[in-house]
Structure 1
Amino acid sequence: MSHLDQVASHRTSDTIEQGNGNHHHTEAKYGGGQSVARYLTAGGTPADSSNPAFPVYHRKLGNPSPLGLLGFGGTTFLLSLYNVNTRGINTPNVILGPALAYGGLAQLIAGIEEWVCGNTFAGTAFSSYGAFWISFACLYIPQFKIADAYAVAGEFDNAVGLFLAMWGVITFIFFLACWKSSIALCALFGCLDVTFWLLTAAFLAPNAKCGIAGGAMGIVTAFIAFYIALAGMLTPDTSYYTLPTGDLSRAKKNE
């Protein structure tokens, strides 16, 4: 008998055992050696404790919503600070970097991950607003010369106003579609829609007060996004407490 045959003759099959509420994976035994047991997560993967600073998540896919919400909220917060003339800043060009990377790319990634998780609403929302931030940044990238294409005074502002109005309509659609989700999410899209329409008026009127009001409402919107993102990260696996979001999914059933 060859050496490989001898090893194969001593090998036992893998088994999955249930004990004390934990899954155990019994490794194959070679040459009379002792079995090696590993804890399995609920998702069926070995529990990794190689990095004790991070908790072990018992799921196959992570929750991409906090990433999308923080990307959206962070970029909205920064632009809104410019809109209310914080520290006398009137030129918002610094927003280009965050708009492309965090508000744009990060949200697109979160949207794609939501599609994988089977969440149509979140996938559509994150992908849409990721595209919004990328397209908004493109308006102010000098190399694209979008503003230079408008020779008539005020024409570019009118075009941007109509661009924002389009997003006001899209946001209202999301607002109508989220009524069965949570109070926090309804508040987010409601405030965001008001923000878009105020900024639309600021460009079309033009009216500086509407721009400042839109910036103030944008700050409120950003903090709601921050709150929902934090609520999504404060899970029983990572936190001793959670944040309420006002679940509306069971409100109709409880009537």
Structure 2
Amino acid sequence: MDHGVPPTNHPAYPYPQDPSPREIQIVAPPPQFRRFGNAAALGLITFGICTVQESMMKAGMSVGYDHGTRAMTAQSIAVAGIAQFAGGLWQIANGDTFEGAAFTSFGAAWFAKGLAQVPGTGVLDYQENESPELARKQDGIVTLAWGIWVLILLAGNVKSHIANIVLFLTLNLQIDFECAGKWTGDKRITKTGAWFGFFCGLSAMYNAAAILLNEENFWFNLPVGNWYTPNPIADEESEIYTE
């Protein structure tokens, strides 16, 4: 008898010992994730509404732009600013980096544009004390930087549907013409950019409607023009090479 191990009938073993060890597996319940809705509709509609209004004012289709900026101040801050920025954050939480970057950047830009028109911030007083030509060229530099960013966004949409490509294409043309108008001082070029901005805003509103209106709550899905068919084999190979 091995004195190092007590027998199974030893008082230390009140029950018969099973010679085969048992594995106890504790299965944890699957984690519960909160699912967000598609916030792209929020970002698109807030951007589209304010872009249409501002473009109409710049193109001279309604009140003059000088008076229109006062009417657009609150909407620039709350609608195209805060609401669009929040939509971008929700898209980042959903895992959509592209739309998150687009909505948050443009939401911050609209918020800054509206905040600049609020008395007491010092922006209006600063603009009154500088020459109009210098202020115009400074706006041209800002517009040029945003033109580069919008061009990157357009390049990231070449495989998207046609409605989305039209949105970013008209947005590029709007900013390019506005930038040229700022640098040259030609108001006709600026108005041309405003017309492109008008159609850009309508395109954004259509893209938002295409997300909201579907066969569950509407008679049919709005066409967006899906022209690109991804190749799963090529995509899988590209993922292997990038790892």
Q: TM-score, normalised by structure 1?
A: 0.72
CA RMSD of aligned residues (A): 2.3
Residue aligning to 1:206: 185
Post-superposition offset of 1:172: 0.4
Q: Which structure has the higher relative contact order (CA within 8 Å, separation 6+)? A: 2
Give deviations 1:76-110, integer Å, cap 9, x for gaps: 00100110112342312211111111101111111
**Shift in alpha-carbon separation, 1:99–1:138, aligned structure 2, 3 A:** same
SS at match of 2:222: coil
The one of 56, 61, 64 equivalent to 2:36 is: 61
Picking from 221, 226, 230, the partner of 1:247 is: 226
Is 1:109 paired with 2:86?
yes
What SS is found at the alignment partner of 1:196?
A: helix
- Look up the equivalent residue of 1:63 and give its one-letter code: N
Letter in 1 for 2:109: F
Give 1:249 deviation, angstroms: 4.9
TM-fit CA distance, 1:202: 1.8
Give 1:195 shift.
0.3
Secondary structure in 2 matching 1:179: coil
Q: Distance in 2 between matches of 1:196 and 1:127?
A: 18
With over 3 angstroms needed to count, the CA separation of the structure-2 counterparts of 1:213 and 1:252, relative to structure 1, is farther
Alignment check: 8 A CA contact 2:210 2:223 kept: yes
For normalisation by structure 2, the TM-score amounts to: 0.75
Between the two proteins, what is the percent identity of the paired residues?
Answer: 25
Q: Are the structure 2 counterparts of residues 203 and 193 from structure 1 closer, same or farther at C-alpha, using a change threshold of 3 Å?
A: same
Q: What's the secondary structure of 1:237's corresponding residue?
A: coil
Residue 139 to residue 201, structure 1, CA distance change in 2 (3 Å): farther
Pairs within 5 Å for 1:35-74: 60-74=35-49
Unaligned segments of structure 2, at least 5 residues: 1-31, 235-243
SS in 2 for 1:141: coil
**1:1-255 alignment runs, 5 A limit:** 60-91=35-66, 92-150=69-127, 151-251=130-230
Moved over 3 A (4+): 251-255
Q: Is the contact made by 1:179 and 1:248 (CA closer than 8 Å) also made in structure 2?
A: no
Preserved contact between residue 139 and residue 147 of structure 1 (Cα < 8 Å):
yes
Letter in 1 for 2:50: T
Q: Secondary structure at the match of 1:240?
A: coil
Q: Deviations over 1:8-34 (max 9, x none)?
A: xxxxxxxxxxxxxxxxxxxxxxxxxxx
Counterpart residue identity of residue 97, structure 2: T
Unaligned runs of 5+ in 1: 1-43, 45-58
Of structures 1 and 2, the larger Rg is shown by: 2
| Residue 180 of structure 1, CA deviation | 1.9
Q: Matches of 1:240 and 1:254 in 2, distance apart?
A: 35
